[in-house]
Amino acid sequence: MLSETIRALQSYIRLTAAKFRETERIGPFLATYYLESSSPFLNYAIPDDGAVPTEDDVAALTEAFRKRGLAPRLEFLTEAVPAAEAVLVRCGYTLERRVPLMICIPGQVVEQPKPAGISLVTPKTEGELRQMIRAQNLAFGETDPDEHLDPSPDQLSGETISVMAVDENGEVVGGGVSTVILDGATEIAGIGVLEEYRSRGIAAAMTEYLTREAHARGGRSVFLTPGAGQAERVYGRVGFKTAAECVHLSVV
C-alpha cells in the first residue's frame, strides 16, 4: 500500500509543478509547461499515483512535448508509480538519474555550528530578494547571473520562506528557500553558496534555519532532493533521512 507520506509528497510535487505553468492532461499524465523557458528541468510530466500507462499513453505524451519543441521528460517518485518506469523505458525513455528524497520531521532537526563571519538573514524587500537570487545564480554557475532576478509572488509575500547568508562586509554569499506549505509539506530548494565560501558549513546552517522555520509554521514533512557530490551527507547532518526515490526519465 502506498504510504500516506509518499502520497502526500507526490501530491505536493504535482501541485507545485503546476503552479505558474500551463498544464495538459494526457491519459494518466499531467504535463507541465513553463512558457518562459524550454529548460527540460522546468518542463516535464508527472504520472498519476498507481498509474500503469499504456504504450499509446506514452506515445501521446511524447508527441505533446515534441509539438511544443520540448524534450519529452518525466519526474516522479518511484514508490508512488511503481509500474511506470518499465513502460517508459520500453517506449524509448532513458534514465537520467535517481535522486534520493530526504525528509526531516519536527523534532528530528540537528543544530549546526554557526559559520564564522556569516549571518543568516531573512530577505524582506524586493531588493534583498534580488541579491539573494543573484547569489544563487552565481552559486549554480548561471552564465548570466543578472538574468531572472525577479522574486516570485510567494517570495514577496513571505509564504515562500527565504534565507540569505551575508558575510562581514555585507556581501550576500548564498541563499535558499522553503516553498509554500501545502497540507503540511514543503520543499527546501535552491540551497547555493558561492564557491569561495563553500566547505564552511553555510549550506547546512541555511538548511537548518529554513527547516526550523518551516516546522514552526506547520510544515510536518520538510523534504529535499540533494544534488550531486556531498549534498546528501550535508543534509543528513541536519537531520534529513532518505524516505523515497525520485526518478528522472527523458527521450534524447
Domain boundaries, the chain: 4-92, 118-244
Q: Which of 3-17, 67-81, 154-168, 201-215 has the lowest mean pLDDT?
A: 3-17
The pair phi, psi for residue 170, each rounded to 5°, is 85, 5
pLDDT for residue 232: 84
In the CATH hierarchy, which top-level class contains the domain 118-244? alpha beta
pLDDT at 1 over 50: no
The residue with cell 544563487 is 136
pLDDT for residue 23: 97
Question: How high is the mean pLDDT of the chain?
Answer: 93
Cα–Cα distances (Å) from 183 to 45, 106, 243, in that order, read 22, 15, 18
Overall average pLDDT of the 24-46 stretch? 93
DSSP of 48-75: PTT----HHHHHHHHHHHHHTT---EEE
User: Residue 124, SS3?
Assistant: coil
Of the chain, the percentage scoring pLDDT greater than 90 comes to 76
pLDDT for residue 228: 66
pLDDT for residue 187: 95
pLDDT for residue 16: 86
Query: CB under 8 Å to 205, separation ≥6 — which residues?
Result: 112, 113, 114, 115, 118, 120, 165
Cα–Cα distances (Å) from 109 to 7, 207, 213, 240, 243, in that order, read 23, 10, 11, 7, 15
Q: How far apart are the C-alpha atoms of 63 and 194, rounded to whole Å?
A: 40
pLDDT for residue 110: 97
Of the chain, the percentage scoring pLDDT greater than 70 comes to 98
What pairs with residue 25 in β-bridges?
30
pLDDT tens figures, 103-161: 999 999 999 999 999 999 999 999 999 999 999 999 998 888 887 788 989 999 999 99
pLDDT at 15 over 50: yes
Read off the C-alpha cell for 176: 535558499
Q: How far apart are the C-alpha atoms of 26 and 161, rounded to whole Å?
A: 33
Overall average pLDDT of the 219-248 stretch? 89
pLDDT at 208 over 70: yes
Q: What's the pTM value of the predicted model, to 2 decimals? A: 0.85
pLDDT for residue 183: 86
Q: For the beta carbon of residue 148, count every other beta carbon within 10 angstroms.
A: 12
The answer to whether 245 touches 81, Cβ cutoff 8 Å, is no
